[in-house]
Chains A and B, each alone.
Chain A
């Protein structure tokens, strides 16, 4: 089975695939201080807890937005899984052509998402990925990565608001009874939920315009923590796909394996 590891700035997502089927998913916090042994023990415990063992894992694919963790996780794979992981980076055969100023600057997480959305939905497409940042990716009709948009993420923006505004309380991120807030909590819930929905719609609509307008059949897919909550409030998101990054890692792994075997 394949273990897919997507290292984000705040969360590491893990998924185990039996062929194309995602059997289990885990999420752990990204900790830059953890050692390879600590990650090894953590991964083994998580696998065992779901009834898997180290020997079930015959391959590991990694994408990391946190460069220092790549060597830590490579060492962990050698020691605990006795294998060399596929680390998506410059030089990896991903099947995604990058049309940007400096292709090496494009994060591996973007390429993984582009590979997944093109394989699963086709192009042209826009992906809204709600993480530490909200990242919007543009994929052409031919599956090329065209670039994107980076906006402050929902959770860190809300956290910044609590830290800076002396009089504002912490709130739960749920939809309020109306847009018009008549108390502080509802005013903030409205501002956050409907404000970010507005952010998404405005950016997706502008990107769709650049990709050929409403007639071009642009697919709009959302993924990440807040995708489910926000998608219902937007008019632009057509599908929510929580495991797009893990699927992308599986797809890129398969592309490399089949070439390697030939």
Chain B
């Protein structure tokens, strides 16, 4: 089985694949302090809880935007699971072409999202795709109908922006992220809920609409696939998001790993 790791600035998401089937997922905090031994023990315990052991794992691959964690995770996989962990980078094989000024500087998390969106949704329908990942940052990735990476955008994410708002503004409370009854808020909590839910849906829609005009001015219209913790909440208010796939990034890790498993 393949263990796929998505190391983000806030969470490490782990997926266990039996061939192309995702059979278990876990989320851990991206602790900058945890040692290789601690990561290794976490992996063993999580596997055991789902009825698996280290001997079920034959392969492991990772995409990471937190470089200091990479070496510890590689060591944890080697010593506790007995498998090498492939650290995917943007210069590995992925989409048929990657149009970016400096491919090595392109976040690998962005490239795997682009790859998964196109392979899972765009390819069959011969449509361009835009992947929207609502994480620490909101990241959008464009792929042409024939499977070339075209570029994208990076905007401040929902969680960190909302947290910053509560920290800076003396009078504002921390709120539950839920949909308010109407857009014009009659109290502070309702006003903030509207600003966040409808505002971030608008952020995504504004970017998708403008990107679509640039990458597919004459159609066919891009398919828009959202992922990330708050994707479902925002997608419900968005006018452009058509598909929510919570495991898009893990799927991208698996797909990119398969393309690079055999040496070139």
A65-B170 contact, Cβ under 8 Å, with A199-B203, A206-B183, A207-B183: yes
Minimum CB–CB distance from B128 to chain A (whole Å) comes to 12
Tell whether A180 pairs with B66 under 8 Å between CB atoms, given A133-B165, A202-B206: no
Q: Does A161 contact B (CB under 8 A)?
A: yes
Q: Write the nearest CB–CB distance from B145 to chain A, whole angstroms.
A: 15
Number of A-B residue pairs, CB cutoff 8 Å, is 219
Q: Does A191 contact B (CB under 8 A)?
A: yes
Stretch from B36-44, B75-83, B94-102, B248-256 forming part of the interface with A: B94-102
The count of residues in chain A whose C-beta lies closer than 8 Å to any C-beta of chain B is 63
User: Does the CB pair B214–A150 fall under 8 Å?
Assistant: no
Q: Does B201 contact A (CB under 8 A)?
A: yes
Q: Mark A132-159, 1 if CB is under 8 A from B, else 0.
A: 1110101000000011111111001111
A202 engages B140 (CB within 8 Å)? no
User: Which residues of A are found within 8 Å of B210, using beta-carbon distances?
Assistant: 179, 194, 198
Contact B170 A180, beta carbon cutoff 8 Å: no
B-side contacts of A190, CB under 8 Å: 153-154, 207
User: A183 to B100, Cβ gap below 8 A?
Assistant: yes
B240 to chain A, nearest CB (A): 10
Task: Check A45 for interface membership: any CB of B closer than 8 A.
Answer: no
CB <8 Å contact, A180 and B152: yes
Say whether B155 contacts A192, CB under 8 Å: yes
Do the beta carbons of B186 and A100 come within 8 Å of each other? yes
Q: Which residues of A contact B99 (CB under 8 A)?
A: 182
Are B65 and A165 touching (Cβ within 8 A)?
Answer: yes
CB-defined contacts of A55 to chain B, threshold 8 Å? none
Shortest distance from the beta carbon of A192 to any chain B beta carbon, whole Å: 6
Return the contact of B154 from the options A101, A146, A191 (Cβ within 8 A).
A191
Task: Looking at the assembled complex, report how far the CB atom of B117 sits from the nearest CB atom of chain A, in whole angstroms.
Answer: 15
**Is there an interface contact between B137 and A199, defined as CB atoms closer than 8 Å?**
no
C-alpha gap A180/B214 in the complex (Å) = 7
Given A149-B195, A210-B182, A102-B187 contact (CB < 8 Å): yes
- Which chain A residues border B151 with CB–CB below 8 Å? 180-182, 187
| Chain A, Cβ-Cβ closest to B162 | A152
Residues of B within 8 A of A159 (CB): 164
- CB distance A198 to B209 under 8 Å? yes
- Among the listed A65, A192, A194, which residue makes an inter-chain contact with B156, where contact means beta carbons less than 8 Å apart? A192
Give a binary string over B137-169; 1 marks a CB under 8 Å from any A CB, 0 the rest.
111101000000011111111001111110011
Task: Give 1 or 0 for each of A185-204: 1 = CB within 8 Å of chain B CB.
Answer: 00110111011111111110
B73 at interface (Cβ–Cβ under 8 A)? no
A166 touches B138 (CB 8 A): no
How far, in Å, is A28 (CB) from chain B's closest CB? 17
A42: interface (CB < 8 Å) = no
CA distance A192 to B138 in the complex (A): 10
Instruction: Give Cα A156 to B156, complex, Å.
Output: 9
Bound state CA distance, A66 and B170, in angstroms? 7
CA distance A206 to B214 in the complex (A): 26
Report how far A217 CA is from B109 CA in the complex, Å: 45
Q: Is the CB of B101 within 8 A of A150?
A: no
Q: Report the Cα distance A100→B138, complex, angstroms.
A: 33
Residue interface bits B184-216, CB-to-A below 8 A is 1, else 0 = 111110111011101111111111011101110
Q: Mark A108-136, 1 if CB is under 8 A from B, else 0.
A: 00000000000000000000000011101
Q: Residues of A contacting B215 with CB < 8 Å?
A: 180
Residues of A close to B105: CB separation below 8 A: 183-184
A residues within 8 A CB of B107?
A: 167, 184
B102 near A183 (CB under 8 angstroms)? yes
Are B191 and A149 in contact, CB atoms less than 8 angstroms apart? yes
* Cα distance A167–B109 in the bound complex, in angstroms: 12
Min distance, Cβ B9 to any Cβ of chain A, angstroms: 5
Top 3 A-B residue pairs of the complex, sorted by shortest distance between their CB atoms: A198-B206, A202-B202, A191-B155
Chain B residues packing against A (C-beta within 8 Å): 9-10, 65-68, 99-102, 105, 107, 136-140, 142, 150-157, 160-165, 168-172, 182-188, 190-192, 194-196, 198-207, 209-211, 213-215
Could you list some 30 contacts between A and B, CB below 8 A? A67-B171, A99-B186, A101-B186, A132-B168, A133-B165, A133-B168, A136-B195, A147-B184, A149-B198, A150-B165, A159-B164, A160-B156, A164-B136, A164-B157, A165-B9, A166-B9, A166-B66, A168-B154, A183-B100, A183-B102, A184-B105, A184-B107, A187-B153, A190-B153, A191-B154, A198-B204, A201-B206, A202-B202, A202-B203, A207-B184
Contacts beyond the supplied A150-B194, A195-B156, A199-B203: 20 A-B pairs with Cβ under 8 Å: A67-B170, A102-B187, A148-B184, A149-B191, A149-B194, A150-B192, A151-B165, A156-B168, A161-B154, A165-B136, A166-B9, A167-B107, A180-B215, A182-B99, A183-B100, A192-B155, A192-B156, A195-B153, A200-B202, A201-B202
